[in-house]
Amino acid sequence: MNRLITLSRALPTPDPEITVAYTPIRLPMPGRQPLELRLTAPAAGGDLPIVILSHGFGPSNYLPSKDGYAPLAQFWAERGLAVLQPTQASSRVGGLDPDLPNGPFFWRERVAEMRVILDQLAEVERQAPAVSGRLDHDRIAVAGHSFGGFTCGLLLGARLQGEDFSDPRIRAGILLAAPGRGGADLTPENAQHFPFFDVDFSGISVPTLVVCGADDDPHFTPRGPEWHADPFHDAPGADALLTIIGVGHGLGGIAGWDARETEAEDPDALEATRRLTLAWLRSTFDIEPAAWTQSQSVLQESAGSIAEITSR
């Protein structure tokens, strides 16, 4: 047992199981280098739901890649989910040349990369024989942190200048410290630098969990931490807002332990983030339908100082 976990220990979660991991899985993309990704999944069992985890644009060199976010990916995989982590086009270590057109953010390319994974799940299984035939292609979620949340928001149905990027194969999503509304909600400098943040979340109709850090004060906008909750307020499918108390953009450390992204390393907050997001996924995927309701009850009774949940 982790001696650093106190309050969040009360939140119910399954015991961890042995996992297998494959890296690098390489998927071809026309006119460019292959997309590399990591797959982590339970070593046993079938009909495994899939979560595609999109990394952010953080300051570290390696965490914004398939090799980051182990605290989240490993936790989910040890408890019944198959987690796919692409090294996206904006990655410093494995992405595209930032001086190319559309660099360094490559927001369209990132969306295309997520679609390539959906298109080539059979190839993923071919390169990962221990999970071949064990993935449930009808239960797919996307989860993204920070700029990865922007990527996932588009795939879930957010529209940019009327353009629809949604993919019907995606049945659910988690937006972790994702950007809020753009345009006039940004400072003038950031509105000019990030015109692609001006999205309309009202097209998101699939179940979506929005996760924010209570102390996450973004530099993009003068609005403060509440900016990151915009998708919850604007998206019809966003059924819950999870606010982790006492931490900021790193949500206690989801990108990596002892990392630059983890501006407030808080094992209890990280554990709450992991357990509560897992509970939401297990209920949404109908693995354990009561998991989310039970976790909310325990949070209110025994660990209310670590997180708050607002539901529709």
Phi, psi of 185, deg, nearest 5: -80, -10
In the structure encoding, which two tokens stand for residue 153, read together?
């928001």
3-state per-residue secondary structure call for 181-218: CCHHHCCHHHHHHCHHHCEEHHHCCCCEEEEEECCCCC
Instruction: Return d(Cα 305, Cα 214) in angstroms, integer.
Output: 12
Residues 52 and 142: beta-carbon distance below 8 Å:
yes
* Reported confidence tier of residue 150, pLDDT bands at 50, 70, 90: very high
Q: Indicate whether 258 pLDDT > 80.
A: no
Identify the band that residue 113 occupies on the pLDDT scale cut at 50, 70 and 90: very high
Q: Which residues contact 125 (CB under 8 A, 6 or more apart)?
A: 131, 132, 133, 134, 135
Position of tokens 């994702």? Answer: 178
130: tokens are 């221990």
Give domain limits for the chain: 7-311
Q: What is the pLDDT at residue 2?
A: 87
- The whole-angstrom separation of Cα 33 and Cα 203 is 32
Task: Provide the edge-to-edge strand list for the sheet that holds 135-145.
Answer: 19-27, 35-42, 82-86, 48-54, 135-145, 172-176, 208-213, 238-244, 307-311
Average pLDDT estimate for 106-117:
98
Banded pLDDT at 307 (limits 50, 70, 90): very high
User: How many helices and strands, by DSSP H and E, does the chain display?
Assistant: 8, 12
Q: What gap in Å lies between CA 205 and CA 275, rounded to an integer?
A: 24
Q: What is the mean pLDDT of residues 300-310?
A: 96
Alpha helix (H) residue ranges in 262-306? 267-284, 291-302
Which of 196, 211, 261 is closest to 58 using CA atoms? Answer: 261
| The predicted structure's pLDDT at residue 199 | 97
160-201 pLDDT per residue, tens: 999 999 999 999 999 999 999 999 999 999 999 999 999 999
| DSSP-based three-state secondary structure for 151 | helix
Kind of pairing, strands 35-42 and 19-27? antiparallel
Entry pTM: 0.97
At residue 189, the pLDDT reads: 96
- As beta bridge partners, residue 240 has 209, 311
pLDDT at 259 over 80: no
Predicted pLDDT of residue 8? 96
Pairwise CA distance, residues 170 & 156, whole Å: 7
pLDDT of residue 41: 98
Residue 142 has pLDDT above 80, yes or no: yes
Average pLDDT of every residue of the chain: 96
pLDDT tens for each residue of 14-61 = 999 999 999 999 999 999 999 999 999 999 999 999 999 999 998 888
* pLDDT above 80 (res 256): yes
Provide the residue type at 251 as one letter: L
pLDDT of residue 102: 95
Classify domain 7-311 by CATH architecture.
3-Layer(aba) Sandwich (3.40)
Residue 274, token pair as written in the block: 């992991």
Residue 288 or 60, more confident: 288
pLDDT of 141: 98
Among the residue ranges 159-168, 205-214, 253-262, 282-291, the one predicted with the least confidence is 253-262
Output the pLDDT for position 263: 75
Q: What's the rounded Cα separation, in Å, for the pair 149 and 85? A: 14
Residue 53 parent element (H or E): strand 48-54
**Which tens digits make up the pLDDT trace of 171-180?**
999 999 999 9
**pLDDT score at 257:** 78
Phi/psi of residue 284, nearest 5 degrees: -65, -35
Backbone angles phi, psi at 310, to 5 degrees: -110, 125
**What is the model's pLDDT at position 214?**
97
- Rounded to 5 degrees, what angle do the CA atoms 91, 92, 93 make? 95
The neighbour count for residue 150, using CB atoms within 10 Å, is 27
Would you state the pLDDT for residue 164? 97
Is the pLDDT score of 254 beyond 90?
A: yes
- The pLDDT of residue 196 is 96
Amino acid at 134: R
